[in-house]
């Protein structure tokens, strides 16, 4: 495999515009050499910005690096260029499955299966998705692999709950079941701070959501998303004793909002565990 890397690297050096960067980047990714793979993919993407396969490769590497938001954007771009791109459909299915949006994951997998009905990985992933909520914690095998879990990320160096995340403190709100603010801040469209008011309104929501899901036989609830005229919101319980609210403007797709919420939930969970 090392000889393959050398051979492909030499070929790319002779012709920087060659599409061989796709094979080289994927080979480096499979070897776990994510930084070199990232450089190869990004350089290739700069030379071929309208190539769906280039966006797909870059998304795979970003996902391996736990940058799920940007991976979502790259797979979304690949589909804009090539609506039937199987790799992008499987990649987005992986991300939707990871945040618990099984219907969207199934929809993308079914679209991929229509394009490539003989792919056993897609068939297996669909079987897992249709298996119900018990399988929702594990990504479908039809998704790009290997992709590490965000739980493996290093602990936050900053004391703030959401340090380093997109939007940082603003647009993210973490509270306990009683409505006490644990981190984050919210403002209305006019810039007025509404953190305390929203927290008070959401007090007890996680328990109500859990009870409703139980009464309906849906199992444990993993999140609720809603669209508004001026923006979108996503609610999720990072632990059984906390509630996380993420707010973004309408320009942010609901799928990406779910990824942002998932990353924020991981940060919140680590922070809460550190407070024990």
Q: Give CA–CA dist 246/244, Å, rounded.
A: 7
The pLDDT value given to residue 2: 57
pLDDT attached to residue 167? 52
Q: Which contiguous run of DSSP H or E holds residue 131?
A: none
How far is it, in rounded angstroms, from Cα 255 to Cα 92? 9
The reported pLDDT for the residue numbered 163 is 60
| CA atoms within a 13 Å half-sphere pointing along the CA-CB vector of 222 | 17
E strand or H helix at 157: none
CA distance 266 to 241: 14
Q: What is the pLDDT of residue 272?
A: 81
For 33, the token pair is: 């050499």
What string of pLDDT tens digits covers the 276 residues of the chain? 556 888 989 999 999 899 999 999 999 999 889 999 999 999 998 899 889 999 999 999 999 888 888 888 899 889 989 999 999 999 998 888 877 778 888 899 999 999 999 888 888 888 877 764 444 444 444 444 433 333 333 333 333 677 655 555 578 888 887 788 888 888 888 888 888 888 888 877 777 777 787 888 877 777 788 888 888 888 888 887 788 898 888 877 777 787 788 778 887 887 787 776
Q: In this predicted structure, what is the pLDDT of residue 165?
A: 59
**What is the C-alpha to C-alpha distance for residues 195 and 239, in angstroms, rounded to an integer?**
20
Q: What is the pLDDT of residue 29?
A: 92
* The pLDDT value given to residue 109: 92
């Amino acid at each position: 495999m090392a000889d393959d890397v050398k051979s492909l690297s030499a070929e790319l050096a002779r012709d920087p515009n060659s599409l061989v960067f796709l094979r080289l980047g994927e080979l480096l990714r499979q070897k776990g050499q994510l930084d070199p793979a990232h450089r190869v993919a990004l350089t290739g993407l700069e030379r071929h910005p309208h190539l769906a396969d280039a966006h797909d490769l870059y998304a795979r590497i970003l996902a391996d690096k736990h940058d799920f938001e940007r991976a979502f954007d790259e797979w979304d771009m690949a589909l804009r260029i090539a609506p039937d791109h199987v790799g992008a459909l499987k990649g987005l299915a992986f991300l939707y499955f990871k945040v618990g949006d099984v219907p969207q994951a199934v929809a993308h997998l079914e679209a991929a299966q229509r394009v490539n009905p003989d792919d056993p990985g897609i068939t297996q992933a669909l079987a897992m998705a249709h298996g119900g909520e018990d399988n929702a914690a594990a990504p479908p095998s039809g998704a790009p692999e290997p992709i590490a879990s965000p739980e493996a990320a290093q602990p936050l160096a900053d004391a703030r709950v959401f340090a380093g995340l997109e939007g940082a403190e603003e647009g993210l709100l973490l509270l306990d079941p009683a409505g006490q603010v644990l981190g984050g801040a919210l403002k209305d469209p006019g810039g007025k701070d509404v953190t305390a008011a929203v927290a008070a309104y959401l007090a007890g929501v996680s328990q109500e959501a859990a009870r409703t899901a139980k009464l309906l036989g849906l199992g444990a609830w993993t999140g609720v998303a809603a669209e508004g005229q001026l923006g979108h919101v996503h609610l999720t319980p990072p632990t059984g004793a906390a509630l996380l609210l993420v707010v973004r403007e309408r320009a942010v797709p609901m799928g990406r909002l779910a990824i942002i919420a998932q990353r924020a939930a991981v940060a919140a969970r680590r922070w809460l565990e550190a407070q024990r």
